[in-house]
Chain A
């Protein structure tokens, strides 16, 4: 048995990867993405511009290819692309702005373009360089130089060696050791080229003063970003540091070059799927694109609600269905069996949304007595009550939703149980047990029921994934903030991160559920061997 279980657990991993890849591709194939979906239904006149859309997509890595990135973009590629854009009249202005935005990190690729280009592109390059000169504090020198080209050539002759990783790291180390104004001035000249060593410095444990120095330098380069203040405590500082690190994770491909090795790995790592996989490996599913909240936080909020509802409804459905089916089978053909059958068929045909609405109208104080609360999970002011009272209040709120969720399965399962029981009761071994003189109870429960439970138990295992998917209709009508409603909204607004998180969880639970079901099956029925056939065994 144990080797069987291990084998099954190991095979879950490639299955999961396969499921996630397929889902990933499928949801991307659906037209529309989170940006356009936000304009659902009635549109706002004069809404988002192209640049805004591009920024949004970049923030969520939506501008990366799905699975394979044959042309990974690093700072060099970006500079090349923007320089090529300088030749097109409609994209010139945008290209110049973007090049200036790349700042000092672009200089190693931009300055060599001064020679060898002419006309519009040359003008554009000089324009962009002028903007960068302002960023690094060299605008007056540039203005007083006779020719801009000469200025840049001389600048590059003198300072080229500064734009190397070794030198940049050394400067940052100096800044960490003490407040060195010379180091600061040189780092300012490096401008965005210094991002990499600065952020890496933050990753090492620094004390308050050092962190403040590094972050101040970062803010100077970026002209914005989270600050540290003198009166900040440990956690506020940690928040700011992780904010900077998160920012760098998103933006580093804009400022860093990829080495040769980097370019090869980037073929798979600079893809949407890889970014998602990286997040999942650290058990952070990222941030919901619909409302910007971390997925884990939302799951922690909604999953317990849905699981509670599901467990209660499964308990109710199975708890009532098995005895009902059993009773029907034992009294087959009698009045009670016929009436039960009729009532169950009738209940089965009532649609859930209708039942829910009628119940609300009838017993929630709208047109009838207020026996139950009107939706939600907790009453007003429940925070102050004792645990005991809160538990009762929760149960009070859950009665109607659980009833609505379970009555259909109740009808179906009891019929299943009845059928299985009838089949078992006709078997020879039951008659033998009765003939042996065993009590009626022991015959029915110990011998017959144990076999009749097999099909029902298999079904129970398959219920596990449905536990987390929730029920949209019931959740909406009873105003319960659970997984069903959230997933429904996520699908409508193409919240990829949430959908992938739910798919992964459901995949894991489905496999666990089937595995559990198989194990219980083997326990209930010793004829089933899970480790493969023994020699000499037939069938």
Chain B
């Protein structure tokens, strides 16, 4: 008797554990639909820039410490694009000719160029540079530095391959006088301003000697921006100070320290202890912890923002099962994306129907993502010829079973769990899915060689992106159209979109592209991720934008400053 009851206790405990592990909705077991809409209140992502206050008249002073997850290899964004390198120095220490506003409406605004003209055919760009700008070492900034920057990018011996690729359509460029820079393109490119936005202008008098690839100043930036580089302790932190001689409205904070810590759990502990004030990215698990920690929320605030980019499942349209668009639509309708969002990402995100970032004008508001509708999906499959003999069988067409292998990269356990949920959903409709997890390099090799049926992937994009590489039929070889999808109308749209500069016409073309992608479903669009950040309430205007914060707006009111100008705990 005693032994039986012991077994009973163990079983009851096990059952209880299973229930709580069933997903973020904390109720029904896996298999029942879970809706995030009712819980979205606290998790809703606000548009970037909500809650910004005017900083022009805020008092100066204070120091903020920001957590950086991965120490950047160097501090020169031209060499080798690196996300953290750009976040630390771009538009803070170094500046570019123009800048994109991190907050809506995300317009291109002048920076080192006080104005610019674009010819009607889009081939000539002329930038009128500011005359009162000085480098942080006091030397004046002129168009000669811009010339040097472009010469450096064009030099094949400089490891600036990505930047060089951006400017391949530039036929020639010159600087007729110290305050003007001209550029002629071979064909109009709508992304040219965006590329210029991320091209830091570097000083000739610093980088002119020696090999720029191994130059000592790639870790000691000298720029023109509102912050001046002060120190870099390898493995530990980068320190910036306010540049009081900045040509524009000066920043408010005295210092910003970017502290490195590879481990996010350690970073959270550093925040709790007061060694760090801003955590730019939290994991969903950390979000759950913090959201219920009222003490911490008293001194810090959580901000959610939808980041550009999306996860998706790509179908290899060369395989017989995926040639028919109806099958792909049916697959999309069989995947319960809301439940996946709920169970895996704690409802932090949004189901998307197209590649454009949420809030982008190219998103057609009339297009809703395909609903989770198994009945309709089954009908579509029947129409396409994939039929079940008996309920519960695998569907067949002309004797062939509807079966495929889903490739998953082994980098994230989340993708694996998502794939398992998808497998179950599809099995109920008579589609057999085998899961195969691969190491990242092996995964990419198979995907680029089109040796797969379906694969889960994720793209991160910018506010404006050229989708040519992703969806044009020519990009099947060597591009990112891994599924080899072909659609003549989409091809024409993509080519036109590359050259079209008029905003109104662009919106028309983009929405049409959105509609085609929605109808054809070459990929099943899954989720746009939410980026959660945690920052001290004493720092005002610490709001993430796309792609990053705008540190020049941050300020700490004197009443909220503790020792050393740090935010009071």
A residues apposed to B, CB below 8 Å: 30-32, 36-53, 55-56, 59, 224-229, 232, 236, 239-240, 242-243, 246-247, 250-251, 287, 290-294, 301, 357, 360-361, 364-366, 370, 374-376, 378, 476-479, 481, 485, 494
Contact = CB atoms under 8 A, between A and B. Distances in A.
B165 interface: yes
B210 A236 contact: yes
Nearest to B163: A52
Interface residues of B, number: 64
A236 B209 contact: yes
B266 A243 contact: no
Interface in B132-187: 151-152, 154-157, 159, 161-162, 164-165, 168
Given A32-B440, A229-B208, A56 B73 contact: no
Contact of B273 (A59, A366, A485): A366
Interface stretch (B319-327, B362-370, B388-396, B452-460): B452-460
A381 to B, nearest CB: 10
Interface string B204-218: 000011111110001
A226 B470 CA distance: 38
Contacts of B168: 49
Interface string B440-466: 111011000000000001111100011
Contacts of A481: 234-236
B210 A46 contact: no
B478 A31 contact: no
A48 B445 contact: no
A31 B157 contact: no
B211 A31 contact: no
A59 B159 contact: yes
Nearest to A378: B236
A374 B458 CA distance: 35
B315 interface: no
Given A36-B444, A366-B269, A52 B161 contact: yes
B155, B208, B263, B465: residue with the most chain A Cβ atoms closer than 10 Å: B263
A45 B211 CA distance: 31
B209 A239 contact: yes
B273 A45 contact: no
B159 A375 contact: no
Contacts of B409: 41
B254 interface: no
B210 A45 contact: no
B545 interface: no
Contacts of B156: 55
Given A374-B270, A477-B265, 4 more contacts: A46-B468, A291-B72, A292-B73, A293-B214
A53 B448 CA distance: 14
B442 A44 contact: no
Contacts of B355: 45
A287 B162 contact: no
B275 interface: yes
Contacts of A479: 260-263, 266
Closest 8 CB pairs of A and B: A32-B441, A291-B73, A481-B235, A243-B211, A52-B161, A239-B210, A224-B155, A46-B469
A11 to B, nearest CB: 36
A8 B168 CA distance: 57
Given A32-B441, A291-B74, A45 B460 contact: yes
A360 B441 contact: no
Contacts of A247: 157, 211
Given A55-B156, A292-B159, A292-B214, A43 B460 contact: yes
A229 B445 CA distance: 47
B209 A292 contact: no
Contact of A374 (B210, B234, B269, B440): B269
B79, B208, B266: residue with the most chain A Cβ atoms closer than 10 Å: B266
A489 to B, nearest CB: 9
A88 to B, nearest CB: 15
Contacts of A376: 236
Given A31-B441, A52-B161, A52-B164, A224 B263 contact: no
A521 to B, nearest CB: 39
A151 to B, nearest CB: 26
B87 interface: no
A364 B266 CA distance: 11
Given A45-B480, A374-B275, A40 B411 contact: yes
Given A56-B159, A290-B73, A293-B73, A226 B460 contact: no
B111 to A, nearest CB: 23
B42 interface: no
8 contacts: A43-B460, A45-B469, A48-B162, A52-B161, A56-B161, A226-B211, A247-B211, A477-B266
